[in-house]
Structure 1
Amino acid sequence: MKKILLFGAVGAILLSSCVSSKKYSELEAKQKETEDLLNSATVKLNSCLEEKASTTAQMNALKEQNDVLRANNQELINNMGNLTTLTTKGAENLEKSLESLREKDLTIRKLQDAVTRRDSVNLALVQSLKGVLGNLDDEDINVSVEKGVVYVNISDKLLFASGSTRVTNRAKEVLGKVATVVKNKPDFEFMVEGHTDSDKVKSGASFKDNWDLSVLRATAVVRILQDDFGVAPARMTAAGRGEYVPVASNDSSDGKAKNRRTRIVVLPKIDQFYSMIEEGMKDPKIN
Structure 2
Amino acid sequence: MQFKDYYAVLGVEPSAGDAEIKTAYRRLARKYHPDVSKEPGAEEQFKAVNEAYEALRDPQKRAAYDQLRARGYRPGEEFRPPPDFGRGGPGAQEFDFEEIFGGAGGGSGGFSDFFEGLFGRRGRAEAPSQRGPQGPRDSRAKLAVPLQAVHDGGSVRVNVNGRQLDVRVPTGVKPGQVIRLAGQGSQGGNLLLEVEYAPHPQFEVDGRNIIHVLSLTPWQAALGATLSVPTLGGAVDLKIPPDSDTGRKLRLRGRGLPGTPPGDQIVELEVTAPRADTDEQRKAYAALGKAFGNA
TM normalised by structure 2 equals: 0.20
**Structure (1 or 2) with the greater strand fraction:** 2
Higher share in helix? 1
Structure with higher Rg: it is 1
- TM-score, normalised via structure 1 length: 0.20
